Structure 1
Amino acid sequence: MKGRTIALDHTNGREAAALMVNGKLDDLLVDAQDVPRPGAIFRGICDRPIKGQGGMMLRLPEGEAAFLRQGKGLKPGQAVLVQVTGYADEGKAVPVTDRVLFKSRYAIVTPGKPGLNVSRQISDDVVRDRILEAAHKVHDGSHGIILRSSCAEVPGEEIADDIVAMTDLAHAVLADAKGTEPEVLTEGDGPHLLAWREWTDAADVVTEQGCFESLGVLDQLERLSGALVPLSDGSMYVEPTRALVTVDVNTGNDTSPAAALKANLAASRALPRALRLRGLGGQIAVDFVSISKAHRKQVEQSLRAAFKADPIETSLVGWTQMGLFELQRKRERLPLKGLL
């Protein structure tokens, strides 16, 4: 199966979306159902400050607790508009921010930050001018607008409609920000809407019930339940623990002088996909095959190139004294193993 295919279906009673590239599962979104989705917007009520951290604990609906990292100037009992930024570890508060964004396929509305900006990925001046012209026709100046790279290939009318829809939503939510009780203002996008919003490259879209089975998605999901990730050179094992995610890279049967570097480069290219499909984030420690410090630079360059194309924010921390490579990855998804 050549090309890109987006499959929209349900698995284990949960809404799910799969992105297939040349028949290989490249990305997967599964609805968590019982926890707040990243992107959901709440009216939270300040509960108590966290001394020493400058943060504030908030009350959300149904007794849910949230943590706002920057709580300076807030007082207990005060209402504040917040947006969920990711999933919390078990037993911890939901991470939120007060920098609320309204994100769609073509436009991002940024309340409190006026201006009209076009993605830097669009470098053609003619294309940029066409996009800005469409945006200026409907931009009322009340909020800032960021025009995404997906605007490059679509008619101006579609861009304008998207801006109007997101601006109207922003007005409605901001008008409902005040109150004395916590409230859900938007629930966040589910997998099918997220797929439409984020997977913007040309693709065939399949929506028939049972398409996960007919397209081979279920078979590939079953293989993700194991830790082994076969590589073009060697293999690696990706295993989550309570504290962090461990990755072990092996050369296999190859005993040539170049085996270690080849396995490490293959692992660095495959690591973003392996983490993305398994829904793993937080602290990650990679035990690469032992190599010289000169070769470490090659591996680090390969990692940076690989994660640059990954949609989930990941910080490459660097090498430890024991030769491990550490990463910090945003928890935008729940572990696949717990969902399926």
Structure 2
Amino acid sequence: MKLIYERTPSIERAMLVDGERLLEVEERFVDQLSVGTIVEAAIERIHPSLGAAFLTDGETTYFLPISETLRALASYPEVPAIGQAAVVGEKRLVQLTKEGINGKHHKVTENIRFGGRYLVYFPFGRRQLFSRKLDLVTQDRLSKALDLTEEEGVLFRTEAGQVAPEALQEELNRLRHRSIVVIEQRFGQDELLCEQFVRRHAVESVLLNDKEGQSRLERLDVPVKRHIGKGRMPEAKHLDGAIEKLESRAVWLDGGAFVLIEQVETMTVIDVNSGKNVAVKDKGRAADTINEAALYSIMEQLRLRNIGGMIVIDFLRGSKEGQTRLLKKMKELGARDPRRVEVYGFTRMGLFELSRERTGRSIQDRMFHAGKPSKLAIFSQFERSLLDLNDQYEAVVLSLPKKWHDASWHEFDIEVHLVEGEPEFLFYGTSEECQNFLSRR
């Protein structure tokens, strides 16, 4: 598998491919709240019955369980009362561990972490942890390899057992430095998207356009090639069409059949339709064939769109033998999914039920807001276009809502002029031509 990582001034985008086939895609703002984001927030209220505190940074509310407070870390294995660990009005530096979805608050911890190739470093972790794959003799050796303060903690990854103590100490020093910078800034990400993908998947090589991403991945011993030159990477541009299709409700199959994917707040409902498929000689056999093709497409789309939670599929009415094959194949495909999939089978009404582990927001949630393209969708389209326009035009005029004017537009080689209005490209040309265009408005 190959990872293609594209970064613009505001957005990072990671695309996992197998040959020409897109397997997974994720896109986010560089400063977006997501798992791993470190923020400073004040304790707004304490909830003794939940054993938790609620924090706010003025815009977002966070949920901090008692077990994730610094006071609990210091008194481990004893757990104090939440009133002893938190005081209303205090500011705390916390890290997101789970994104809030459908009105739920983001879950956070004070046990901040920074990941490396061999270690996970906890500035306030206070103890040493080990990968389950490390034997007791190796754990004992590693426990003496690093010079940690009383407050610090580390988790030794499996790879730590294969390297010299000097390499571990070098990585520890590097993670310490990164933690100091983020803690001083009171905001940051523990990992880039490209690092997260490399850790989650068996990535064989990476193509990217970002110098920082290159240096971080080289420390993880991943073959990296960086795109040098103006414009976008052709490999990334080639995937735009496949990614745009993920915004459509309909997924077409060979022969004219199609699948409809409807995401609502509580679940995802999928409907398999025969469409233009006119094979009527043996309707049961035709339905079984369409259902099997739809099954592979559905499992692929769930991963591509990052759909999780409860899922109900309305397959075509096929034979009993066909239903048995569907159940067996669904379990096989579910076992290959990087996320945990629970397969329940057919109900008495003939609907197929399954659930998929929810991790973050889906493509639909990220790219649409109140039925319109989200800020992320607009910025993603505009910034990719600006990269391509760099070697064709000197300047461009963009129309954007006033609240979006504070982005890093000045970081492009092309000169960007902004006017207030609905998002669209208004004019390309030389700097003088753009100034004349603005003067005529």
Same fold (TM over 0.5): yes
Change (3 A) 1:272 1:279: same
CA distance in 2, matches of 1:222, 1:319: 32
In the alignment, the residues of structure 1 paired with residue 53 and residue 251 of structure 2 have an alpha-carbon distance, to the nearest angstrom, of: 41
Q: Provide the TM-score with structure 1 as the length reference.
A: 0.70
Q: Which residue number in structure 1 is paired with residue 367 of structure 2?
A: 337
**What is the RMSD of the two structures over their aligned residues, measured on CA atoms?**
4.6
Query: Alpha-carbon deviation of 1:30?
Result: 0.7
CA distance in 2, matches of 1:82, 1:45: 10
Cα distance change of structure 1 residues 135 and 275 upon mapping to structure 2, 3 Å threshold: farther
1:316 is displaced (CA, Å) by 5.0
Between 132-141 and 192-201, the greater mean CA deviation after superposition: 132-141
- Greater radius of gyration (CA): 2
| Cross-structure match for 1:147 | 157
Deviates more, 1:132-141 or 1:10-19: 132-141
Name the amino acid aligned to 2:260: Y
Distance 1:259 1:136 in 2: 65
Specify the alignment match of 2:114 in structure 1: 102
In structure 1, the partner of 2:205 is: 203
1:47 to 41, 44, 49: 44
CA offset at residue 105 of structure 1? 4.4
Task: Kindly report which structure 2 residues correspond to 1:208-287, keeping only aligned pairs within 5 A, or say none.
Answer: 208=227, 209-211=231-233, 216-231=238-253, 235-250=258-273, 253=277, 255=282, 257-287=284-314
Q: Which ranges in structure 1 are unaligned for 5 or more consecutive residues?
A: 178-182
Task: Determine the structure 2 residue equivalent to 1:9.
Answer: 6
Query: Larger % of helix: which?
Result: 2
Counterpart in 2 of 1:325? 353
Q: Report the alpha carbon displacement of residue 53 of structure 1 after superposing the two structures with TM.
A: 5.2
Query: What letter is aligned with 1:116?
Result: F
Contact kept, 8 Å, 2:92 with 2:110, in 1: the verdict is: yes
Among all aligned residue pairs of Structure 1 and Structure 2, give the percentage whose two residues are the same amino acid: 20
Higher relative contact order (CA 8 A, sep 6+): 1
2:16 equivalent to 1:28:
no
Map of 1:74 onto structure 2: 82
Deviation at 1:59, TM superposition (A): 1.9
Alignment-mate amino acid for residue 74 of structure 1: I
Distance 1:159 1:307 in 2: 38
Query: In 2, are the aligned partners of 1:107 and 1:147 still within 8 Å (CA)?
Result: yes
**8 Å Cα contact 1:39/1:84 also seen in 2:** yes
SS of the residue corresponding to residue 31 of structure 1 reads: strand
Aligned to 1:187: 189
User: How many residue pairs end up in the alignment?
Assistant: 322
Q: CA contact under 8 A between 1:108 and 1:166: conserved in structure 2?
A: no
Equivalent position SS for 1:280: coil
Deviations 1:269-321 (A, max 9, x none): 44443133224334433333446788666545544443444344555566655
2:249–2:260: 8 Å Cα contact kept in structure 1? yes
Deviations 1:236-286 (A, max 9, x none): 222222443222234563555455555445444444431332243344333
Return the TM-score normalized by structure 2: 0.56
- Tell whether the 8 Å contact from 1:109 to 1:170 is kept in structure 2 after alignment: no
Distance 1:293 1:99 in 2: 52
What are structure 2's unaligned runs of at least 5 residues? Answer: 68-79, 210-226, 369-375, 378-441
The residue that corresponds to 1:180 in the other structure is none
